[in-house]
Chain A
Amino acid sequence: MTDAFPSALTGPSSKERKYDRQLRLWAASGQKALEESRVLLVNSDGPWSNQSTGVSGVVGVETLKNLVLPGIGGFTIVDPATVTEADLGVNFFLEEQSLGKPRAAETCRLLKELNPDVEGSFQSKVWDSGSITELLRQDPGFLAQHRLVLVSGPMKRPSLDALCKAASELNIPVLYTRSVGFYSSFSLQLPPLFPIVETHPDPETTQDLRLLNPWPELAEAASRIDDLETLDDHQHGHVPYLLLLLHYLEKWKEAHNGNVPSNYKEKSEFREMVRSSARTCNPEGGEENYDEAVAAVLKSLNPFSLRSSTREIFEMEECKNPRADSADFWIIASAVREFFQQHNVLPLPGSLPDMKAQSADYVSLQNIYKSKAKKDVEEVTNIVRRIESQIGSRSGDIPEKDIEIFCKNAAHIKVIRGRSIPEIDGEAQTLKAIRNSISIPDSLIPVFIAFQALDNVVTDLQERRIPSGSIDDEVAWGAQIDRVLSALTADDQSTIDEDARERISEAIQELRRTEGGELHNISSLTGGLVAQEALKVITRQYVPLDNTCIFDGVRSRSEMYTL
């Protein structure tokens, strides 16, 4: 065995102690990814008009708080705003002395206080055109220093589009957020294909025990308990339930032409067969290992089947034909696909649930699973090496550790197809998804539509197309609502019924209540959600949003949509 027992006391370092509560969620590998990442926050794009200072940027700052605390490598805040009285009423990372100073500098300073390990910088210059696009033009290398871009909206569309396009060319994910009054909404723009290996599914759903098609070593272990009747009560009550199931499956097969129980009725019969074999004349009046076996029948006696998400991945061009410039993920996926084609199962994950058993019996059973998993990893590794040499010119072999992690998680890998930040008059699919949800009474789509109208009003405002210069301009809102509704009904008048219109109008009314202003609670909550997504994207663990989340603070509800 290579993993020898450590003997000396190796206590945690002070960094491990500080980050203990999160390391239990994303481990050292996730922490490393976090520490190597720098995040860009574009926290406003200049004032909306001469009457309005623009976005308060609380979601952005609260998101950064939740990334600085767990130890992100660094952050950059771009924000041309100057701190106003109203900022002090919503933003915790500003103080009395901040009034009149650049907001980027002040929020940066107070955020940095949270964690000395984190590097922070800012850009507060007001560009000639008053827009982020100017910065991107002047400093072409700027964006590329970052792993993720957070954008605080509403922001005028040309700036947002320029930013998203630039990020997309560099494969940098973007999170676009808006928080106004009791509502918020955010969308995630990922690269076209975003693969995740460590999705952290619920351990209950990930058991893969192969009871219906045991490999030779496992079948042999089961055959060793052939003489169950001769065991004394103690031994009988400690046979691992896995072996019990394998044992009775053999018996069942003998009586059923070699077939395993395949439907609910047969499984119930089989379960009864196991149940009735337990010894009940002992002091406990039953046996725990048999109870465990009975409980496992329905969920463990299923033939191996590939999840549709994995099947889809295997069908992708990237997986079928990996190239020299393919990411490691695709090379390994391609090897696992080949493994599957050959064996009709995925590599064995190798973990074993706890069960009633003697220590030594459990450990030896565990070793059977571990060895098989190891063998499978070796086989996949060989395929990986072959593919590597076939496609040639890659910078070094894929680390064995990565292949092992992939094999362990193979049944739950995921690839998200990145989409751009949605807008109603953008892609056809967005419009279709909105129409599909609009008539559902509890849908939060009306809130999204309200935000879309707000985005348009802000664009008009920043481009000086609203003479009053007011965010609450009745005429401007009327025009934008018409525009959004007509986009929705462009080719089909009946898609918005009266009730849906009423819900949209209520959402707009509620949204307009604060005239574009943020409420701290809603922005703080949203900053928590957005940070969670940022962490998942950066660590490539767990499954990020695909692609839009809407939060309704009036009814304390949220919903996800692929828009």
Chain B
Amino acid sequence: MASADSSLRWKHLHKVLTKPGPFSDEDWVPGSETISALETSKILGAGGLGCEILKNLALSGFKDIHVIDMGKSPPITFSGIPQLTLTDTIDISNLNRQFLFRQADIGKPKAEVAAAFVERRVKGVKITPYVGKIQDKDEDYYMQFKIVVCGLDSIEARRWINATLIGMVDPENPESLKPFIDGGTEGFKGQARVILPTLSSCIECQLDMHAPRPAVPLCTIATIPRQPQHCIEWAHQIAWQEKRKDDPFDSDDLDHIGWVYNAALERAKQFHIHGVTFQMTQGVVKNIIPAIASTNAVIAAATTSEALKIATSCNPYLDNYMMYAGEEGVYTYTFEAEKKPDCPVCGNLARNMTVDPDMTLQEYIDTLGDRPEAQLKKPSMRTEEKTLYQRFPPQLEEQTRANLQRKLRDLVEDGQEIAVSDPAYTIDFRYRLLFK
């Protein structure tokens, strides 16, 4: 148990763990049991906010911390362009906010460098790194944790861990319910949310609150560019395919970006469009989201503060969403996001989706990537009776390919339910198609 200098060291923290407050639960018993429960809780930190999260967890008194997936999200992949696998290593552009990394660490695995740093700095904490993506791990791995804290960069990774943690819940076994705390940032904005899998609103329930930016139509890119970004998309999606088909495009290779930049410049010149820059090229091609240390600090600390409260009951935890915007003063909005009965992950009803019955299946599939409530990039789908389109295996793809050109009204009935799967996720999404 706590030695003399350990209680001196943690004296501020221990005050809130050994004394009730006006808002802590009346049944809560503060004291050494609370402290040891905190110290033995195995907790997982993940994502691009990982440096802040690790530091905060270590200084919140957690002693058994695991860390995974501190990488950036891979750039958007366009069909046909092979992408190199992005590794979870330190890049120079991480140094403006990921404070556990130094110039000399560039190229090293993030999780390992971060874990070693925090272990060195905070005495008595054990940090177990795993270099790789959250999707590499299965339920057995996630089952060992008491709480999961994620500051992941990509919506895909969020949805994956959300579905996984919800799928793990066994009503007979309270230990199988892992409180999931999520944080995300973009520029001066961010959000923190607490999710009790199956009990409260989940990432998927809230999906339409985080709508993707609408993609530029391909015909604009191909024939009538108007903006510098259109020229860059053309160079990236079309020119590269034509000219360098056998070369896998690597968005981290400055020569590749340079090639796209020059091709975009040429095209812009042809159409008298101004404003293509190297920085913009990189931003478009890598789908770069602005990120600064201060916003990351706010959001990461918001998530770990909830972790401390959940692990110790020293105060009530967030129920369940806090959004933050720092462009104009300091603005936060805390509210309870709603659990939706038609949530494809935590609900049991199919979600209604209004469609134009004269759309072809191909057109419908294309809209699924942009629709805020779906955001599925590579969907396959079936009704209860038949497969509408299946990407894999190749034989099945071939058999169902002809459906792509058929109209929805010829494939399904008004009000019929379809099940959609996507290689990014382990679950099916159920939609009820309502004809417009």
Residue numbers of A with Cβ under 8 A of B are: 3, 5-7, 9-12, 14, 16-25, 56, 62, 65-66, 69-71, 84-86, 88-90, 92, 95-96, 113-116, 181-182, 199-200, 238, 354-355, 357-360, 362-363, 506, 509-510, 513-515, 517-522, 524-525, 527-529, 531-533, 535, 542-546, 549, 553-558, 560
Contacts and interface: CB of A to CB of B under 8 A. Distances in A.
Contacts of B99: 65, 69, 114
Interface in B268-282: 268-269, 271-274, 278-279, 282
B106 to A, nearest CB: 10
Given A69-B97, A514-B16, A531-B293, A354 B305 contact: no
A509 B21 CA distance: 7
Interface string B1-42: 000010011111101100101110000000000000000000
A90 B11 CA distance: 9
Interface stretch (B74-82, B284-292, B343-351, B374-382): B284-292
Contact of B22 (A84, A509, A545, A553): A509
A555 B288 contact: no
A25 B297 contact: no
Question: Which 9 A-B pairs give the minimum distances between C-beta atoms?
Answer: A517-B12, A528-B297, A528-B298, A525-B301, A520-B59, A521-B305, A85-B8, A531-B294, A524-B301
Interface string B142-174: 000000000000000000000000000000000
Contact of B278 (A11, A18, A557): A11
Contact of A555 (B93, B278, B290, B316): B316
Interface in B67-87: none
Nearest to A560: B329
Nearest to B55: A92
Contact of A5 (B19, B265, B304): B265
B192 interface: yes
A357 B283 CA distance: 24
A516 to B, nearest CB: 9
A25 B278 contact: no
B115 interface: no
A79 to B, nearest CB: 18
B330 A533 contact: yes
A461 to B, nearest CB: 17
Nearest to A56: B12
A103 B378 CA distance: 55
28 contacts: A5-B269, A12-B279, A12-B282, A24-B290, A25-B188, A62-B297, A65-B297, A70-B293, A86-B8, A90-B59, A95-B121, A113-B102, A181-B15, A182-B21, A200-B327, A359-B273, A360-B272, A363-B272, A506-B22, A510-B21, A515-B15, A517-B12, A520-B59, A521-B304, A528-B294, A532-B298, A556-B306, A556-B317
B288 A558 contact: no
B226 A20 contact: no
Nearest to A370: B274
Contacts of A62: 297
Contacts of A114: 99
B334 A557 contact: yes
Given A18-B96, A85-B5, A555-B316, A517 B305 contact: no
A18 B9 contact: no
B103 interface: yes
B246 interface: no
A18 B302 CA distance: 26
A96 B122 CA distance: 8
Interface string B240-254: 000000000000001
A337 B26 CA distance: 62
A85 B5 CA distance: 7
B123 interface: yes
Nearest to B291: A21
Nearest to A23: B279
Contacts of A363: 226, 271-273
A555 B261 CA distance: 48
Nearest to A355: B226
A524 B297 contact: yes
Contacts of A66: 292-294, 297
B295 interface: yes
A542 B188 contact: yes
B56 interface: yes
Contact of A357 (B59, B226, B315): B226
A475 to B, nearest CB: 20
B197 interface: no
B12 A90 contact: yes
Given A89-B10, A363-B271, A513-B21, 12 more contacts: A21-B288, A21-B291, A71-B96, A84-B8, A85-B5, A88-B9, A90-B13, A360-B272, A362-B226, A509-B21, A532-B188, A554-B21
B224 A357 contact: yes
B170 to A, nearest CB: 29
Given A62-B297, A86-B11, A89-B11, A524 B329 contact: no
B332 interface: yes
Given A25-B292, A238-B224, A521-B304, A532 B278 contact: no
A18 B106 CA distance: 11
B305 A532 contact: no
B192 A556 contact: yes
Interface in B299-319: 299-302, 304-306, 308, 315-318
Contacts of A182: 16, 21, 305, 315
B92 A17 contact: yes
Task: Give the residue among A25, A521, A542 with the most B Cβ atoms within 10 A.
Answer: A521
B330 A558 contact: yes
B372 interface: no
A513 B19 CA distance: 7
B111 to A, nearest CB: 18
Nearest to A69: B293
A513 B15 contact: yes
Contacts of A25: 187-188, 290, 292
A19 B262 CA distance: 23
B96 A9 contact: no
B326 interface: yes
B331 interface: yes
A427 to B, nearest CB: 20
Contact of A553 (B305, B326, B328): B305
A308 B291 CA distance: 33
B96 A543 contact: no
A304 to B, nearest CB: 23
Given A25-B290, A525-B301, A556-B334, A20 B93 contact: yes
B296 interface: yes
Contacts of A527: 297
B198 to A, nearest CB: 22
B225 interface: yes
A89 B298 CA distance: 20
Nearest to A525: B301
B368 to A, nearest CB: 20
Contact of B258 (A6, A9, A542): A9
B250 to A, nearest CB: 15
Nearest to B4: A85
Given A514-B12, A542-B188, A543-B329, A20 B282 contact: yes
Task: Give the residue among B16, B322, B329 with the most A Cβ atoms within 10 A.
Answer: B329
A69 B306 CA distance: 26
A355 B226 CA distance: 8
Given A5-B265, A90-B12, A528-B301, A24 B330 contact: no
Contacts of A557: 322, 332, 334
A195 to B, nearest CB: 15
A24 B290 CA distance: 6
B360 interface: no
Interface string B91-134: 01101110100110000000000000000111100000000000
Task: Give the residue among A359, A510, A515 with the most B Cβ atoms within 10 A.
Answer: A359
B52 interface: yes
Contacts of A7: 265
B60 interface: yes
A558 B8 contact: no
